[in-house]
Structure 1
Amino acid sequence: MKNMLKKALTTAMFVGVLAGCASEEDTIIMSPVPQVDSKFTPASQWSASVGNGVGEYYSKLTPEYAYGKVFVASRDGVVKAFDPENGKTLWEAEVEADVTARLAGGITAGYSQLFIGSENGTVLALDEETGELNWQTQIDGEVLTAPATDNNLVIVHTNDGMLIALEQETGNIKWTISTEVPNLTLRGNSKPVTASGGVFWGTANGRLAAAIVERGQLIWQQPIGMPQGATEIDRLVDVDAAPLILGGSLYIAGYNGQLTAIDLRSGKPSWKRSYSSSADLASDGSRLFLVTEKDHLVAVDARSGTELWSNDQLEHRLLTAPAMIDDYVVVGDSEGYLYWLDRVSGEFVSMQQIDSSGLAVAPITVPGGYVLVTRDGDVKKLTINE
């Protein structure tokens, strides 16, 4: 088992398990690999690589499919565009070559460009067709999550509680919003999400915030978790998951907080359920799927919050966020296993070890299959071979 840590304090370089501060009898033990009678196996369409990947660093560099291309980046600054059909490299760029790039958070495509941030506080815009650097802007704070795009703006969330909007053509700062950051927080940030002229994001002090995209005016903040407990670790309430919008509702989960459904018109909660998570949610339209802080997989009804099933067989295996591929809920783990679960029952359908270096992010769907990136930077397109 890799000694990789999943949830870390802001000062840590690697992903950290909070139980490292616990007593010996509280030590967290990773569940063994479950026995799964796989009903299908993946068929490889092509494989490639991008730099040195992310290694054991906290860099959730999720790939992006847009403009008929697959875009992938490595922490050390290599960005590539691949043909999704055959894996041919269409272009390759190296950003911030004079320093350690420390790219993080993932790629966002928009306005015929790619946007990506770094732990160095740099936001970069690359031409999607050529990989040419259009602009780069230095801001205060690390950018640990993918940007959002809306209203000709690129919106980034930094680890020091700033939401910053940059003009997509120039990279010039248009507005900033500041939120409170406690002395001790998890390593990570909530990706902002836009809808109906608003931008929504989770904060380190346990809230969901909403603002007007055009002006950067804060509208409201809704508490998702309240600090409780005797120690600072017990009182962590970060909302690091990206908000998920389905119709007129927004769903968000917090660490030591709650899974909450919020009506977008009123900004008021429709229901709350006690689940602690810092991972992004997935949905099939009627169900929500989440990975808890103990790496339990849970499905709830999106309308009522009623729990539909829970699977605890992957406890503490350092799972990725869940993804929906075809009709399956899919997660990866730190030892490179990919698990497929029935979305209705939560039972395992298939399992494969993809790469022993491990998986930090979930696969993404592309035409004719799905693409995943390992921690070592291997890029693979696979299809389900039933």
Structure 2
Amino acid sequence: MTVSLSKLTKACLLSIVLVSCASNDEDPDLLPADRPEIKNTFNTQVIWSKSVADGVESYYSRLKPTWGYDKVFAADRTGSIVAFAADTGKQVWEVDIRPPSEGYLSWLGFNTSPESRVSGLVASYEKLFVGTENGEIVALSVEDGHEIWRVSVDGEVLSAPIAEEGKVIAHLGSGTTVALDANDGKEIWSSIADVPSLTIRGASSPAYAQGGVFIGGATGKVMTYASQNGQLAWEVPIAKPQGATELARIADIDATPIISGFNLYALSAGGSLGMVDIRSARLAWKREYRGYQNMVLDANKLILSDDKSILYAVDARTGVELWSNNQLRNRHITAGAILGDYVLVGDFEGYIYLFDKEEGKLSYVRQISTDALLAQPIVENDIAYIQTRDGEIVALKLN
């Protein structure tokens, strides 16, 4: 896989600009808010806590666990994949998906092969499908972790694939969406979309509904492909690139689209949140929110955070804002998850926060790690599974 020098240079310049802005302590609008000091109104309990190798180390990665077959599957960036019993945390199996290395260190149990750069996991069809930034999708047995197949794809896998209709479908950093046969990994179809010369490094996971695969694109459009053959059905712009510079024209949809009935919700880093009627491919409403983290839909509430870590609840039917909370402004919060009656997020200092989902009031604060929380928590059977930067998996529930 090759990257043009100009594109790499622009990406580096963007990183420098963002870091420079973030380090500008003369602008109070860019400084993180102080951690809120509140009296907790209830307690939480850590059921179990386990480690997955070295986590994502110093890289910015939203790698999160996945749940299936009464197990929690987690990975580190290097290529270690671990299955835990969901209720007890007991390790069921562990594998390293890197090719075995050669040389005398391998005899001592060390694998010096390059990192797999794992980016996402999904469990389905009795398999665990693992996507990597090295441009591979690997299928493992959910029972014992043995490798079933491995396929190279035409681009980096920057988010978790999905598994539907007997297919594994991944949205690649190159703009391509690829569908593989879940049984043997053979390519069934691929579809290519335009990618601007400057984008946020990331790609939304696909969404699936009613025979369609829905992709949030780097150009600010939502695209729909027929899941059977990959044919483009329609595309709708959520945000249009605007501005005189490539930086100003960034409009990526890095948040995974959400589908409820015939309504699709998409959030763009270009400054738009929209609802699309998937029957008519019509934009039903659009509001000005700028973000790149995954959203969550709870009944008729769409809960999201913007690029300044301000949390919002929006009426999913009308787009009317129901509440907002800026107590975690610029604290780099994770995407949210619904745990009971609360919205759960984490921040860059390893704290978790629970907000009342009806009113947006902050009700609970707890530190679960001394490292940053980057990944969206997952919730199954009223238990939240949270992965820290250093690879700790924490299973937590409300008391």
TM bin, normalised by shorter chain, reads over 0.9
Deviation at 1:26, TM superposition (A): 5.0
What is the alpha-carbon distance in structure 2 between the residues aligned to residue 14 and residue 335 of structure 1? 24
Deviation at 1:58, TM superposition (A): 2.6
Mark the CA change 1:310 to 1:16 in structure 2 (over 3 Å): closer, same or farther: farther
Match of 1:321 in 2: 335
Deviation at 1:15, TM superposition (A): 8.0
Letter of the 1:172 partner, please give it: K
What is the alpha-carbon distance in structure 1 between the residues aligned to residue 16 and residue 346 of structure 2? 18
Match of 2:88 in 1: 86
Match 1:51 to one of 50, 53, 61:
53
SS of 1:149's partner is strand
Match of 1:282 in 2: 296
Deviation at 1:277, TM superposition (A): 0.9
> How big is each residue's C-alpha offset from its partner over 1:191-245, in whole Å with a ceiling of 9 and x where there is no partner?
0011100000101111100010001001111101111223221111001110101
Following superposition of structure 1 onto structure 2, how do residues 120-135 of structure 1 map, counting pairs within 5 Å? 120-135=134-149
Match of 2:392 in 1: 378
1:364–1:370: 8 Å Cα contact kept in structure 2? Answer: yes
Mark the CA change 1:299 to 1:9 in structure 2 (over 3 Å): closer, same or farther: farther
Match of 2:43 in 1: 41
What is the alpha-carbon distance in structure 2 between the residues aligned to residue 142 and residue 9 of structure 1? 18
Deviation at 1:10, TM superposition (A): 8.3
Match of 2:20 in 1: 20
Deviation at 1:154, TM superposition (A): 0.6
**Structure 1: stretches of 5+ with no match in the other structure:** 1-7
Following superposition of structure 1 onto structure 2, how do residues 337-356 of structure 1 map, counting pairs within 5 Å? 337-356=351-370
Match of 1:110 in 2: 124
1:15–1:56: 8 Å Cα contact kept in structure 2? Answer: no
Mark the CA change 1:363 to 1:9 in structure 2 (over 3 Å): closer, same or farther: farther
Match 1:73 to one of 75, 79, 82:
75
Structure 1 ranges of 4+ moved more than 4 A: 8-17, 21-27
* More deviation, 374-383/20-29: 20-29
Letter of the 1:201 partner, please give it: I
Deviation at 1:31, TM superposition (A): 1.3
2:203–2:254: 8 Å Cα contact kept in structure 1? Answer: yes
SS of 1:55's partner is coil
TM-score by length of 1: 0.93
Deviation at 1:103, TM superposition (A): 3.3
SS of 2:20's partner is helix
Match 1:231 to one of 245, 251, 258:
245
Letter of the 1:253 partner, please give it: L
1:169 matches 2:171: no
1:292 matches 2:294: no
Match of 2:198 in 1: 184
What is the alpha-carbon distance in structure 1 between the residues aligned to residue 123 and residue 14 of structure 2? 27
Match of 2:269 in 1: 255
Letter of the 2:240 partner, please give it: M
Letter of the 1:266 partner, please give it: S
1:53–1:376: 8 Å Cα contact kept in structure 2? Answer: yes
Deviation at 1:171, TM superposition (A): 1.0
Mark the CA change 1:10 to 1:244 in structure 2 (over 3 Å): closer, same or farther: farther
Deviation at 1:16, TM superposition (A): 7.9
Q: Percent identity?
A: 40
What is the alpha-carbon distance in structure 1 between the residues aligned to residue 276 and residue 22 of structure 2? 35
Q: Over aligned residues, Cα RMSD in angstroms?
A: 2.1
> How big is each residue's C-alpha offset from its partner over 1:238-270, in whole Å with a ceiling of 9 and x where there is no partner?
011101011221111001231111112111111
1:15–1:57: 8 Å Cα contact kept in structure 2? Answer: no
2:22–2:31: 8 Å Cα contact kept in structure 1? Answer: no
What is the alpha-carbon distance in structure 2 between the residues aligned to residue 368 and residue 256 of structure 1? 34
Match of 1:5 in 2: none
Match 2:167 to one of 130, 145, 153:
153
Deviation at 1:188, TM superposition (A): 0.8
Deviation at 1:155, TM superposition (A): 0.6
Mark the CA change 1:37 to 1:381 in structure 2 (over 3 Å): closer, same or farther: same
Mark the CA change 1:277 to 1:368 in structure 2 (over 3 Å): closer, same or farther: closer
SS of 1:20's partner is helix
What is the alpha-carbon distance in structure 1 between the residues aligned to residue 81 and residue 14 of structure 2? 22
Deviation at 1:101, TM superposition (A): 3.0
Deviation at 1:368, TM superposition (A): 5.4
Letter of the 1:290 partner, please give it: L
* More deviation, 169-178/17-26: 17-26
Mark the CA change 1:276 to 1:21 in structure 2 (over 3 Å): closer, same or farther: same
Match of 2:220 in 1: 206
Deviation at 1:327, TM superposition (A): 1.1
1:48–1:380: 8 Å Cα contact kept in structure 2? Answer: yes
2:225–2:231: 8 Å Cα contact kept in structure 1? Answer: yes
* More deviation, 346-355/54-63: 54-63
Mark the CA change 1:232 to 1:290 in structure 2 (over 3 Å): closer, same or farther: same
Deviation at 1:36, TM superposition (A): 1.9
Match 2:229 to one of 191, 215, 233:
215
Q: Which has the larger radius of gyration?
A: 2
Mark the CA change 1:70 to 1:311 in structure 2 (over 3 Å): closer, same or farther: same
Letter of the 1:234 partner, please give it: A
What is the alpha-carbon distance in structure 1 between the residues aligned to residue 9 and residue 126 of structure 2? 36
1:241 matches 2:255: yes
What is the alpha-carbon distance in structure 2 between the residues aligned to residue 284 and residue 161 of structure 1? 30
1:59–1:104: 8 Å Cα contact kept in structure 2? Answer: no
